[in-house]
Amino acid sequence: MADSNAPDDRASLQRDVFVPMEIYKVVTVFSMLIAIGLVVGGFLVLDSATDQATAETEDVNVITALLGIGLIAFGGVVYVFSTRFRPEAMGNAKDDTNQGTDNG
């Protein structure tokens, strides 16, 4: 009987984008740098909008706060999108059938 929680291998393979190792390295490095920069920058903008979390509710700059939250969310989207890329030569550990089950 099939496990209902098991991921569909075809859907997983359709989601992945196979690229040469050199492109994978570039995408991984730069997407992580961009994602980290966006998230840190978003928190800095959010911090300035709330005056380091000391502003009263009516003193919060809503536009700037929303911009900060948007930057944080966009950083997460960049990271998630970058996880779609896989090098052609690298396998997927969950697809490896040579692993024993005695990892106890």
Encode burial over 60-79: b for 16+ CB neighbours within 10 A, e otherwise.
ebeeebebbeebbebbeebb
Per-position pLDDT tens, the chain of length 104: 444 444 555 555 677 888 899 999 999 999 999 999 999 999 999 999 999 889 898 999 999 999 999 999 999 999 999 989 888 877 666 555 555 566 65
The answer to whether residues 19 and 87 touch, using CB atoms and an 8 Å cutoff, is yes
